């Protein structure tokens, strides 16, 4: 079963984070206050320890509920009335942050038996953009109150794997053993257990070791990749060093390679130089291969020569993938110089892939030179295939030029028959 991945904008991610922060605040504020009070907070009428932004958000909620929802607000700025009316008022709030704060306030006051009606009402209503993330908040709150009822709803009524995954992830964060037991008991068939990937997501934030053991029980595939992604995110929250040191603890080569790929992707987005140094420090060429092209592309965007120099630090078996990341940016500024550089790599493993990358990098701007390089492909089948593809594209733009080029150069018989007639 393939999980749907809800894609949130940067704004939506911030909003969800802010809403969850409010939940954490409410949980903390129920405990006795210790230490020195916030004098500034007392002076402004805030409860000691209350973030200034929260008071402002509640003031905005109050005005928004009165302005857009038409419902009366109490002293905390919460829409009042029966739950159905309050939810109707909340979805009419135009500002996403205000709307999610109000939704979290509503969810915080629901009893276990009220979530089903709220979830179903929310599904039937029209929404502003971002409602998928808000529905996930409902499911995750329901999971904390009554996970079995929430799963009954998502699996039997919604029949939604992604909704069930949200519930399981939230439940696993609270009670990993119970969520895992449910996932194992309710999986049917011989394929990989999609529920375990959701449990791993919930567990990873609290216990990476246990999350990893669950991951190792999954066969290669989409579920395992989802688990790798969840653990990688949790590792990076702990810090770059925790993430970079982690792959060496994984014994399975394919699983380790998956972690290297996922970590390299995120490290490269933040700091290509750091990602490059980490990848170059590895002794396993297969591990290096997982991130070589991505890192090389990022380094080449900054300086193609730096990327070319970095490539030499890799194991020979990983250099071809790195070169494929360097070539597009390098050739964009200097086709001839790039051709000379590609020549210096001759003899490395998978060199044919390097040549093919160069061919496609300049096929529109210098088709004669691009076609000439195809003769450097050592594999006859790959060479013939590339001739047909590259010359076919060139012929769409200038068929007479292709016919002339084929007549003047030695090419496979099938290529000559196709283009020289």
Residue 35 is predicted with a pLDDT of 36
- Which has the closest alpha carbon to 259: 278, 99, 395, 115? 278
- Going from N- to C-terminal start, the domains of the chain cover 363-421
- Which has the closest alpha carbon to 167: 101, 127, 208, 116? 116
- Residues whose CB falls within 8 Å of the CB of residue 389, separated by 6 or more in sequence, listed in order: none
Q: What is the mean pLDDT of residues 301-307?
A: 97
Residue 48 is predicted with a pLDDT of 35
For residues 313 and 319, the answer to whether their CB atoms sit within 8 Å is no
For residues 169 and 199, the answer to whether their CB atoms sit within 8 Å is yes
Residue 13 has pLDDT above 80, yes or no: no
- Residues whose CB falls within 8 Å of the CB of residue 405, separated by 6 or more in sequence, listed in order: 367, 368, 371, 391
What would the pLDDT profile of 19-68 be if each residue is shown by its tens digit? 444 444 334 433 333 333 333 333 333 333 333 333 444 444 444 444 44
Report residue 71's pLDDT band, with 50, 70 and 90 as the boundaries: very low
Inter-helix orientation angle 176-186/194-204, to 10°: 170
Report residue 131's pLDDT band, with 50, 70 and 90 as the boundaries: confident
Residue 286 is predicted with a pLDDT of 95
Residue 264 has pLDDT above 70, yes or no: yes
Residue 189 is predicted with a pLDDT of 84
Residue 132 is predicted with a pLDDT of 85
Q: Report the range out of 14-18, 29-33, 398-402 with the highest average pLDDT.
A: 398-402
Residue 7 is predicted with a pLDDT of 32
Q: What is the mean pLDDT of residues 177-195?
A: 93
Buried b (16+ CB within 10 A) or exposed e, 111-134: eeeebbebbeebeeeeeeebeebb
- Which has the closest alpha carbon to 228: 257, 253, 207? 257
Out of 32-46, 304-318, 359-373, pick the least confident: 32-46
Report residue 190's pLDDT band, with 50, 70 and 90 as the boundaries: confident
Cα–Cα–Cα angle for 196, 202, 206, rounded to 5 degrees: 125
Residue 76 is predicted with a pLDDT of 43
Tell me how far apart the alpha carbons of residues 214 and 179 are, in angstroms, rounded to a whole number. 12
Tell me how far apart the alpha carbons of residues 303 and 330 are, in angstroms, rounded to a whole number. 9
Annotate the chain with three-state secondary structure. CCCCCCCCCHHHHHHHHHHHHHHHHHHHHCCCCCCCCCHHHHHCCCCCCCCHHHHHHHHHHHHHHHHHHCCCECCCCCECCCHHHHHHHHHCCCCHHHHHHHHHHHHHCCCHHHHHHHHHHHHHCCCCCCHHHHHHHHHHHHHHHCHHHHHHHHHHHHCCHHHHHHHHHHHHHHCHHHHHHHHHHHCCCCCCCHHHHHHHHHHHCCCHHHHHHHHHCCCCCHHHHHHHHHHHHHHHHHCHHHHHHCHHHCCCHHHHHHHHHHHHHHHHHHCHHHHHHHHHCCCCHHHHHHHHHHHHHHHHHHCHHHHHHHHCCCCHHHHHHHHHHHHHHHHHHCHHHHHHHHHHCCCCCCHHHHHHHHHHHCCCCCHHHHHHHHHHCCCHHHHHHHHHHHHHHHHHHHHHHHHHHHHHCCCCHHHHHHHCC
Report residue 80's pLDDT band, with 50, 70 and 90 as the boundaries: low
The fraction of the chain above a pLDDT of 70, given in percent, is 81
Instruction: Specify burial of residue 275 (Cβ count, 10 A radius: 0-12, 13-18, 19+).
Output: buried
Residue 129 is predicted with a pLDDT of 78
| Higher pLDDT among residues 189 and 415, named by residue | 415
- pTM value is 0.75
């Amino acid at each position: 079963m393939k999980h749907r991945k809800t894609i949130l904008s940067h704004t939506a991610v911030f909003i969800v984070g802010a809403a969850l922060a409010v939940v954490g605040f409410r949980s903390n504020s129920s405990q006795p206050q210790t230490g020195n009070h916030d004098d500034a907070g007392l002076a402004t009428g805030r409860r000691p320890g209350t973030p200034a932004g929260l008071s402002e958000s509640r003031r905005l909620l109050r005005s928004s509920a009165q302005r857009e929802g038409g419902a009366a607000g109490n002293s905390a700025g919460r829409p009042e009335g029966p739950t159905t009316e309050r939810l109707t008022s909340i979805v009419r709030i135009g500002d996403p942050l205000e709307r999610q704060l109000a939704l979290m306030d509503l969810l915080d006051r629901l009893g276990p038996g009220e979530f089903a009606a709220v979830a179903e009402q929310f599904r039937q209503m029209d929404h502003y953009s971002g409602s998928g993330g808000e529905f996930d908040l409902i499911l995750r709150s329901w999971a904390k109150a009554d996970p079995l009822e929430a799963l009954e709803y998502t699996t039997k009524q919604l029949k939604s794997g992604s909704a069930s995954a949200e519930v399981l992830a939230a439940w696993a964060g609270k009670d990993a053993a119970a969520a895992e037991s449910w996932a194992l008991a309710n999986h049917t068939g011989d394929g990989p257990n999609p529920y375990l990937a959701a449990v791993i997501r919930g567990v990873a934030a609290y216990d990476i070791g246990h999350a990893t053991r669950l991951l190792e029980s999954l066969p290669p595939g989409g579920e395992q990749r989802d688990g790798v992604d969840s653990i990688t995110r949790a590792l990076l929250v702990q810090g770059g060093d925790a993430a970079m040191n982690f792959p060496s603890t994984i014994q399975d080569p394919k699983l380790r390679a998956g972690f290297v790929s996922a970590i390299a992707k995120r490290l490269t987005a933040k700091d290509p130089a750091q990602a490059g140094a980490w990848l170059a420090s590895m002794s396993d060429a297969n591990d290096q291969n997982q991130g070589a092209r991505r890192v090389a592309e990022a380094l080449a965007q900054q300086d193609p020569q730096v990327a070319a120099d970095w490539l030499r630090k890799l194991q020979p078996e990983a250099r071809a993938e790195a070169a494929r990341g360097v070539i597009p940016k390098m050739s964009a500024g200097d086709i001839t110089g790039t051709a000379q550089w590609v020549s210096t790599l001759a003899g490395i493993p998978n060199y044919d892939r390097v040549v093919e990358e160069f061919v496609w990098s300049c096929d529109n701007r210098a088709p004669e030179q691009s076609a000439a390089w195809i003769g450097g492909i050592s594999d006859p089948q790959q060479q013939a295939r590339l001739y047909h593809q590259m010359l076919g594209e060139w012929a769409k733009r200038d068929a007479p030029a292709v016919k002339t080029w084929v007549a003047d150069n030695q090419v496979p018989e099938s290529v000559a028959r196709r283009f020289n007639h």
